[in-house]
């Protein structure tokens, strides 16, 4: 049940029972998740906006509006993922993987653009 990096609300009461190194790992895990969620999440949202703006099969302005309006849902989803993943490394890997996928799609899209 207790895994390093999992933020637990009642941390203060549990802290006493953890071995000394675990406290540090727990804090580090939270920092990683915050970085993945806030920074990585914004990157994923920005990339998805760009990809959808260029790739959605509709008029250009419509695609931009649709993509940009949806971006906040993408961002919120990324943040939730960053804090829901089983451990901090999985959180980072998920965000980084999604970003890499989006970059690849963007590359392909731009290859096909006139």
Partner 1 sequence: MKEGFRQSMAWLHSWAGLLVGWILFAVFLTGTAAYLRPEISYWMRPELALSRPGPADAEVAVKAMQGMAPNSPTWFITLPSERETTTRVFWREGGGRGRGRGFREAVLDPATGHPVEARETMGGEFFYRFHFQLHYMSVLWGRWIVSICAMFMLVAIVSGIITHRRIFADFFTFRPGKGQRSWLDGHNVCAVLALPYHLMITYTGLVLFMLMVMPWGIDRAYPGGRQAFNAEAFGSAPPRPRANTPAPLAPVLPLVEEAQRRWEGGRVGRIVVANPGDANATIQLVRADSERISYNPQSLTFDGPTGALIQDSGEGRPAAEVRGWMYGLHIGRFAGPFLRGLFLLSGLAGTVMVATGCVLWAVKMRQQAAKKGRVGFGTRLVEHLNIAAIAGLPLAMAAFLWANRLLPVGMEERAAWEVHVFFIIWGLCFVHPLFRRGRQAWVEQFAAGAAAFALLPALNALVTQRHLLATLAEGDIVRAGFDLGLLACAALLGVLAWKVARHQPATARARRPAPKAALMPAEAAE
From the CB of 107, what's the least distance to partner 1, in Å?
13
CB 43 within 8 A of CB 51: no
Cβ proximity to partner 1: between 50 and 98 the closer is 50
Q: Mask 20-39, x = binds partner 1 (CB under 8 A)?
A: --------------------
From the CB of 110, what's the least distance to partner 1, in Å?
9
> What's the CA gap between 79 and 39, in Å, rounded?
9
Q: Mask 65-84, x = binds partner 1 (CB under 8 A)?
A: xxxxx-xxx-xx--xx--xx
Contacts of 39 (CB under 8 A, 6+ apart): none
Number of neighbours of residue 46 by Cβ within 10 angstroms: 15
DSSP assignment letter at 24: H
> What's the CA gap between 51 and 112, in Å, rounded?
13
* Residues contributing to the site for partner 1 (CB under 8 A): 1, 3, 6-10, 12-13, 45-47, 49-50, 52-54, 58-69, 71-73, 75-76, 79-80, 83-84, 86
């Amino acid at each position: 049940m207790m895994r390093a990096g999992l933020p637990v609300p009642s941390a203060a009461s549990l802290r006493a029972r953890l071995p000394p190194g675990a406290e540090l790992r727990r804090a580090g895990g939270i920092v990683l998740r915050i970085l993945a969620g806030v920074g990585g999440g914004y990157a994923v949202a920005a990339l998805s906006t760009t990809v959808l703006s260029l790739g959605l099969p509709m008029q250009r302005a419509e695609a931009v509006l649709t993509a940009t309006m949806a971006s906040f849902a993408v961002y919120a989803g990324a943040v939730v993922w960053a804090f829901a993943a089983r451990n901090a490394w999985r959180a980072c890997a998920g965000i980084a993987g999604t970003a890499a996928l989006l970059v690849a799609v963007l590359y392909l899209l731009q290859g096909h653009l006139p």
